Amino acid sequence: MKRSALIICTFVLFAVAFAGRTRWHQLDGYSFEKYKAEFHKQYSSDDEHSLRQNVFESRLAQIKLHNQDSTKTWKSGVNQFTDRTEQELKQLLGYRKDIAYMTKETQAFKRYTTPFKIQDEAPIPKHVDWREKGVVSAVKDQGQCGSCWTFATAETIESHYTIHTGDLMDFSEQQILDCTPNPNQCGGTGGCAGGTAELAMARIIQMGGLSSEWTYSYSSYWGSNYQCKFNTNLTHPIAQLQSYVDLPSNQYEPIISAVSHIGPLAISVDASSWFAYESGVFDGCNQTNPDIDHAVQLVGFGSDDKLGDYYLVRNSWSPLWGESGYIKLRRTSHEQTRCGTDLTPSDGTGCTNGPKTVTVCGTCGILYDVSYPVMAK
């Protein structure tokens, strides 16, 4: 009963927010004062107010200029990020390519993986949206912590748990955040400093499972890290993994096959140019030198009669961002040939044995690092 009430209240709050939200075509005459009122912005000093106003006005000019270009297949708009500095926006990403490298190459984690095999006899549909099958939970908000990797992991486990059991539950991002160490001290220390879905799933197997959101709730919204409080008696693990599948890197067919026939996937992308996205099919990443920096969930794909083919991707920046928390990324018939070179695969302190550059393929590097859990029987 209490959970139903919470769901209803949440729905009402977001319904009100969406009803009054300014869209891209309503920006003529839009001002900083209107922005502050719409997004309930408050600043601690006159200096901060001046800084935020300057950032906002610069971004608003860029948004209007973009939307005047009729060749673009997506629209930009104002949102909760329009007054944030570049440094603040980077804190929302929290994916470290150097950890991904260690995850893929370290044998300690290889023992938790299961090989992937394309289901050759199963035809690929023209449209896939796992939301329509009731296995995708509501869009979440990671806040000011670089915990995207924990959200992508928990969300994907939620989907596969539902496919496996028929019950849709919210699982604990905080357990992953608090209890997944980075023993190689590679590119940070985990937590709000970043990680990967593979690292998280291997750790969940070690712990014996993942707790529900209700018993181990999210507390790092404002960017703080906490000690691990996982306890098999008090925070009883519910979702138990047998292993996880790390799909072949930079290959289109395995990813399309997996998301078509198995379920949603945890993916890694270059999201550095996503912050102003509002709607449409996005193709605005740097394809020459993409910088993989964010973990999200792939829930399907499809085609728009006017805008073309797309991947359907769920983000963790709240339903107020993008298309109710989702973004459509450009999908092409030659996706795995659309490759670029990531020049900074060792962000942060780096790994001593990590590569100096990595090749990533697909729109925003979507084919580079893809995985999903195998639920215990």
Catalytic positions are 148, 294, 315
- Which DSSP state fits 333? T
CA distance linking residue 375 with residue 153, whole number of Å: 13
Q: Which residues pair with 359 in a beta bridge?
A: 341
Instruction: Look at the block and give the residue holding tokens 């106003």.
Output: 53
- Alpha-carbon gap, residue 323 to 326, rounded angstroms: 5
Residue found by looking up tokens 């073309």 in the block: 308
196 phi and psi angles, rounded to 5 deg? -135, 165
CB atoms within 10 A of CB 363: 24
CA atoms of 157 and 161, how far apart (whole Å): 6
Contact 161, 169 (CB under 8 A): yes
Report how far residue 23's alpha carbon sits from residue 172's, in angstroms, rounded to the nearest whole number: 33
Beta strands in 34-140 (DSSP E): 74-76, 128-129
268 alpha-carbon distance from chain centroid: 8
Give Cβ neighbours of residue 234 (< 8 Å, ≥ 6 apart).
Answer: 215
Beta bridge partners of 277: 76
Residue 59 and residue 121: Cα distance in Å, rounded?
Answer: 49
CB-based contact 247:255 (threshold 8 Å): yes
